[in-house]
A and B are shown apart, each in its own frame.
Chain A
């Protein structure tokens, strides 16, 4: 059972990061960290050791696929929820093979974001 305290949100879009935050329950006292590309996400992960990471895939500098690989190499138990506009079946196959917890499509919806968090808490 995982207790979620720290959440890292990775997306190059300020709006997208705001939309994700808007879907996460506000009464749980979560601490949020943000990163705007894959490279910054890896750095932030190592610094803050979040309990959950929301990861976009299409980003400049380093994309989400590479960032997931590096985070998983650093911490194989990292709980990562991919939130992406790329809804191709092959993309889902590719990220699932990297060992992510869930894949959600953009724009985020409260119910599915909460479900994905509950799923992680139940592990």
Chain B
């Protein structure tokens, strides 16, 4: 395995990280599919090391206008710290919640509806983020602890991005992104993992150890 010992990743290190992300999201999809009767179409994940371009620019270029999005945000830490952002456009969020409700057979009055929608979104986020991050950590022989997830609006995310809140929390970031479609519908979401780059050497060592198993 070609190794870069500085703060950049070699092509093969990025490829390995991408493959592990793919495995981790596969686990997350299967977990969600067990809870609600959906079939998730996976896509090839992408990874970017945020060096020069800002996080705001990156997320804007990936999603476009964040208004109308609801985002489940969940922080985690193990050998490195990170923040997961699961973003759904409003229509996708409503459809997903409807599916979740059908499955849970929940009847609620209108007043409780908003609160319950957020609760369901948090639950969906918890399953997807939890399974994905835990699997990634397991593959890299790490153990992560989670902060409870919360729902924020696209506007709040923009605010946090403008204030560099994530960047100050994570210093520099490794961005892992995956887009997924649910069933045959055009219902897609984005999952971003923003990882602390301070522990890049720990991550590189873990990738090297993973690779070594197959040499």
Contact residues of A with B, CB < 8 Å? 12-16, 18-19, 21-23, 58-60, 84-91, 105-107
Query: For the complex, is B98 an interface residue (Cβ under 8 Å from A)?
Result: no
* B residues in contact with A88, CB < 8 Å: 29-30, 33, 39-40
* A residues in contact with B42, CB < 8 Å: 58, 85-86
B30 and A15 within 8 A (CB): no
B29 and A86 within 8 A (CB): yes
* B residues in contact with A16, CB < 8 Å: 19
Contact residues of B with A, CB < 8 Å? 12, 15-16, 18-19, 22-27, 29-30, 33, 39-40, 42-44, 139, 211, 213-215
A-B contact pairs, 19 of them (CB 8 A): A13-B22, A16-B19, A18-B211, A21-B214, A22-B213, A22-B215, A58-B42, A58-B43, A58-B44, A87-B26, A87-B30, A88-B30, A88-B39, A89-B30, A90-B33, A90-B39, A105-B26, A106-B22, A107-B19
Alpha-carbon gap, A72 to B42, bound state (A): 23
Alpha-carbon gap, A13 to B16, bound state (A): 8
Alpha-carbon gap, A87 to B28, bound state (A): 9
Alpha-carbon gap, A24 to B11, bound state (A): 24
A15 and B33 within 8 A (CB): no
A14 and B25 within 8 A (CB): no
- Asked, given contacts A85-B25, A88-B30, whether A13 binds B40 with beta carbons under 8 Å apart, the answer is no
A15 and B44 within 8 A (CB): no
Q: Contact partner of A87 among B12, B19, B27, CB < 8 A? A: B27
